[in-house]
Structure 1
Amino acid sequence: MNKLEALRLFCAAADSGNFRQTALLLGVSPQAVTRAVAFLEQEFGDALFVRNTRTTAITPFGRQVYAEAKTALAHTDALFQQFSRKERESLAGPVRVALPEVDEWGLLEAVLHGLRDYPEIVPDWRSGNALSNTDREQIDVGVRVGVPQANDFIIHPAAPLRLQTVMSPELLARTGAPHSVADLRARFPLVGLLDINSGKLFEYDYPHTVFAPEAPAFIAPNNRHALQAVLQGRAAGQFAAWTVQPHIRQGRLKTVLPDDEMTLNWQLYVYRPRRHRHTARVKIVFDLLAEALTRFFHDETRTG
């Protein structure tokens, strides 16, 4: 096993205190984290964690190794950055950025403001969901919703994906609130969000069932357009909480079925391919996006 990667997995596990959560955030299997820790314990000849069926606690020896490992990893990264010729020469050129429909969060404004001292960095901004496979392969930095794949990407998690079902006050006045998920599915007009890759509608996801709308009242591949149909009272819909919370605070939307809200094992996160690990201009844009998203969700939590 690669010793450097094993140390990275160990440090991540020490930070989270949970092997399964570490695997989820890094996009690896729980077994990979377990194997890395076991490998290091064999190398060092002492236990790094005390584990049972319910808890995982780092040992005093593990804390010593963690402190040294964090320092060593930081020095390793700094060494490559300091002596990499590409790093010294990479402050000029394009950075292709891919985002879902989140421009209203002020991300573009934050990135452009942060790049005011780097006029030779050229943002190539690709917002929306209509990216071909070729486009995706050429992305330098992006924002994505899903399970982070840390094997191939450096990631910065921003927020978990919590799903809420919402209706406009006008639609609620006409139909009343659904009594259950089954009632919502059978009796209420629903928006259908189209997956342009498969041509099928995305499913509504609840703790005990999933379903795709059978006779949607509005169909669009664009999440913003689907939300607009809900705001106009044409249909109910299920959306990420970060999408609907501003409208809920303004009274333009109401939550329904609160006991059936779902938090998926997905994250909204910023990513960059590991092949760009030491490319300065890519890292600058990555850090600006991560900072802007962190600030946005901090402000959302505070005001919500």
Structure 2
Amino acid sequence: MESLANLESFVRSAELGGFSAAARQLGLSPAAVSRNVAVLERNLGLRLFQRSTRKLALTEAGERFLDSVRSHVDALGAALGAAALDRAEPAGTLKLSLSPGFGIDYVLPLMPEFLRRYPRLRLDWRFENRPVELIAEGFDAAIGGGIELAAGLVARPLAPLHVIAVAAPGYLDECAAQGRALPVHPDDLAGHDGIVMRSHRHGRINHWTLRDGAGREALAMPRERAAFDDPEAMARAAALGLGVTLVAVQHALPYLHEGRLRRLLPDWYADLGAINLYFAGRSLLPAKTRAFVDFLGAACERAGLAQRLSGRPAPA
């Protein structure tokens, strides 16, 4: 009977496109994964991969074999993982990538309770506004939006990622003194100073399409006065009275609670998807990762983050 190690090395190499990526997910060396696959091929009497210096591609026989065994390997791995978790105490270093705003304001305050519950864990966190390659970069999990859901990854939504328009009361008072009316439609933002977002990825200015409760859509394009690449800086600049900005609710919420920002166009928002917790869900999860995934999901649900960070208009 073929060993699970050989079968899982084959399945992960096929899903991730290479022995090195599979090795990172399985906690093995690339040489060990390659050796496991070679043993499997020899035992089956089949060539499962076409190998080159640049690419690993399935043969026709490999594709058929993958279709026949993948679900069984995943099911067996999940069963073994569940049994192991019943007796394993979470320990070691939890390496995490997370967006600074959400991470500092909403995740970090949960950590005293988490670490009291799991005292053998150590945190190694990277606060960064970029999509990471979770497996390739060796992270246990990542929190944010816009990460490509590659093979073997799971995305668990924690809160909506909704963008709203805000401005400081002082800026709005100046507008009133100058005879400029408050915006009542996204088109009206064109007449206001804007603090806009410059994308990390392509360097261009992001423009958001807003929608209202009736499903109507409109492009929001305030007059560009300042361009930043960090949403926290944008919210702070708006609170200082530099103009109107469009940021995710998570960044605006503390200023809204303090009265330093006021929401404009309350019936309009942009839906950018969700703030997700990403992790490798189809392989054996270490006890430390499973503990964090379960703890954070439950904590966010108890805190009502889905409601607190929603930009949808309140029901009439």
TM-score, scaled to structure 1 = 0.62
Letter in 1 for 2:124: D
Letter in 2 for 1:210: L
In structure 1, the residue matched to 2:208 is 204
User: Structure 2 matches for 1:264-283, cutoff 5 A?
Assistant: 264=272, 266-274=273-281, 277-283=284-290
In structure 1, the residue matched to 2:198 is 194
In structure 1, the residue matched to 2:293 is 286
What is the alpha-carbon distance in structure 2 between the residues aligned to residue 222 and residue 116 of structure 1? 33
Deviations 1:213-264 (A, max 9, x none): 6x63222222111100011110111122233234323322222222332334
Q: CA deviation at 1:298?
A: 4.9
1:204–1:263 distance in 2 versus 1, CA, 3 Å: closer
In structure 1, the residue matched to 2:260 is 252
1:111–1:200 distance in 2 versus 1, CA, 3 Å: same
Deviations 1:75-124 (A, max 9, x none): 9787322445x996783322211111224424223134312343432211
C-alpha RMSD over aligned residues: 3.4
Letter in 2 for 1:249: H
Q: Does 1:295 align with 2:302?
A: yes
Secondary structure at 2:243 match in 1: coil
Secondary structure at 1:252 match in 2: coil
What is the alpha-carbon distance in structure 2 between the residues aligned to residue 90 and residue 148 of structure 1? 31
Structure 1 segments of 4+ aligned residues over 4 angstroms from their partners:
75-78, 86-90, 130-136, 298-302
Give 5+ residue unaligned stretches, structure 2.
1-74, 176-180, 212-216
In structure 1, the residue matched to 2:187 is 182
What is the alpha-carbon distance in structure 1 between the residues aligned to residue 124 and residue 197 of structure 2? 27
Q: CA deviation at 1:168?
A: 0.8
Letter in 2 for 1:294: E
What is the alpha-carbon distance in structure 2 between the residues aligned to residue 195 and residue 136 of structure 1? 23
In structure 1, the residue matched to 2:230 is 222
Deviations 1:6-33 (A, max 9, x none): xxxxxxxxxxxxxxxxxxxxxxxxxxxx
1:210–1:140 distance in 2 versus 1, CA, 3 Å: farther
Q: CA deviation at 1:296?
A: 3.3
Check whether the contact 2:209–2:218 (CA below 8 A) recurs between aligned residues.
yes
Greater CA radius of gyration, 1 or 2? Answer: 2
1:108–1:253 distance in 2 versus 1, CA, 3 Å: same
Give 5+ residue unaligned stretches, structure 1.
1-74
Deviations 1:185-207 (A, max 9, x none): 2x211112222221122222223
Secondary structure at 1:80 match in 2: helix
In structure 1, the residue matched to 2:270 is 262
In structure 1, the residue matched to 2:46 is none
Letter in 1 for 2:288: R
What is the alpha-carbon distance in structure 2 between the residues aligned to residue 255 and residue 217 of structure 1? 19
What is the alpha-carbon distance in structure 1 between the residues aligned to residue 131 and residue 255 of structure 2? 28
Letter in 1 for 2:206: F
What is the alpha-carbon distance in structure 2 between the residues aligned to residue 278 and residue 147 of structure 1? 19
Check whether the contact 2:196–2:246 (CA below 8 A) recurs between aligned residues.
no
Secondary structure at 2:94 match in 1: strand
Greater helix proportion: 1
In structure 2, the residue matched to 1:157 is 157
What is the alpha-carbon distance in structure 2 between the residues aligned to residue 299 and residue 188 of structure 1? 31
Q: Percent identity?
A: 21
Secondary structure at 2:242 match in 1: coil
Secondary structure at 2:233 match in 1: helix
TM-score, scaled to structure 2 = 0.60
Q: CA deviation at 1:171?
A: 0.8
Check whether the contact 2:183–2:189 (CA below 8 A) recurs between aligned residues.
yes
Q: Does 1:109 align with 2:113?
A: no
* Aligned pairs, number: 225
Letter in 2 for 1:183: D
